[in-house]
Homo-oligomer: A and B are copies of this chain.
């Protein structure tokens, strides 16, 4: 057997739970359940764009799958199968062992089968595609937001971006919150249980990968609406909250990205249900604003208010080509 074939056998083959034929043939075979639509998404992570090459391989493995699982959560889909294509500059067995340990830790946590793989030589690049199931017609689309919907977010925003800023020596975080920030940055927790519960509650949903404003912006574009947010209501770390007068901290919170929390809209009549859902899941769900009519001149516009002032926003989120 060739070394390349061995890498897949050695590091990326584990018993599967939902799969007819897994790693090792020209293709894997799966049987989606009756009455289900398949939700499919792909994300690519590039060294030194999405993670530091010298970051610990366990985290890179976890995050590679987690960001894809997060896309399933955002659709209200149950993640089940993933494929991995990875380019490696060389065969580093210690790195591969840690990377696969992180990847499979995430796979186990969310009951995802890794069903296929491709390894090749090249600059470190990781491409994961994920597939999940959602009852036909129940996926939560970006385009479903209604006028005067409440806008909600899960968890705490800005932690990953501020953790990264700390690593880049732009800020100095207190030890306790630094730990939260680095955990958010390296091992994000996709909100699958929330996504599944939101199928019958939310009108639209997205996961926050590029930053709240950029991702909420995608909901607004798809739904032809604008929005009004109250900066003070956006859930975040105390360290960020206390510094919110500074544009840099407004940026971490609104546009830093890498949050992997869900942003969703829902009718006002669902407020109580959503509060209860947050309690059931042990996950804070915060109402941060509402949708409003868009104007022709300024479509999908987001007004952010802070202490009765409008915040001046220059940059909506992280874009790899800006």
Which residues does A use to contact B, with CB under 8 Å?
1-5, 7, 20-21, 24-32, 34, 37-44, 46-47, 49-50, 71-72, 74-75, 77, 81, 83-87, 91, 115-123, 125, 127, 129-132, 134, 136, 139, 141-143, 205-207, 210, 214, 217-218, 221-222, 316-317, 319-322
- CA–CA, A296 and B130, complex, Å: 39
| Smallest CB separation, A122 vs chain B (Å) | 3
- CA–CA, A141 and B22, complex, Å: 11
Q: Is the CB of B40 within 8 A of A71?
A: no
Q: Is the CB of A121 within 8 A of B49?
A: yes
- CA–CA, A139 and B84, complex, Å: 22
Q: Is the CB of B42 within 8 A of A207?
A: no
Cβ–Cβ < 8 Å partners of A21 in chain B: 139, 141
Chain B CB count within 10 A is highest, among A3, A26, A210, A320, for A26
Q: Which of B27, B125, B210 contacts A40 (CB 8 A)?
A: B27
| Smallest CB separation, A312 vs chain B (Å) | 19
Q: Is the CB of A118 within 8 A of B2?
A: no
Q: Is the CB of A320 within 8 A of B142?
A: no
Q: Is the CB of A26 within 8 A of B207?
A: yes
Cβ–Cβ < 8 Å partners of A26 in chain B: 41, 71-72, 74-75, 142, 205-207
Q: Is the CB of A46 within 8 A of B121?
A: yes
Q: Is the CB of A4 within 8 A of B320?
A: yes
Q: Is the CB of A40 within 8 A of B115?
A: yes
Q: Which of B37, B47, B322 contacts A20 (CB 8 A)?
A: B37
CB-nearest residue of chain B to A122: B46
With known contacts A21-B141, A25-B141, A25-B142, A120–B49 Cβ distance under 8 A:
yes
Cβ–Cβ < 8 Å partners of A20 in chain B: 37
| Smallest CB separation, A222 vs chain B (Å) | 7
Q: Which of B28, B31, B125 contacts A87 (CB 8 A)?
A: B125
Q: Is the CB of A27 within 8 A of B132?
A: yes
Cβ–Cβ < 8 Å partners of A217 in chain B: 1
- CA–CA, A143 and B3, complex, Å: 20
Cβ–Cβ < 8 Å partners of A322 in chain B: 2-3
Q: Is the CB of A46 within 8 A of B123?
A: yes
- CA–CA, A28 and B39, complex, Å: 5
Q: Which of B38, B42, B120, B214 contacts A320 (CB 8 A)?
A: B120
| Smallest CB separation, A136 vs chain B (Å) | 7
| Smallest CB separation, A322 vs chain B (Å) | 7
Cβ–Cβ < 8 Å partners of A132 in chain B: 27
Cβ–Cβ < 8 Å partners of A34 in chain B: 34
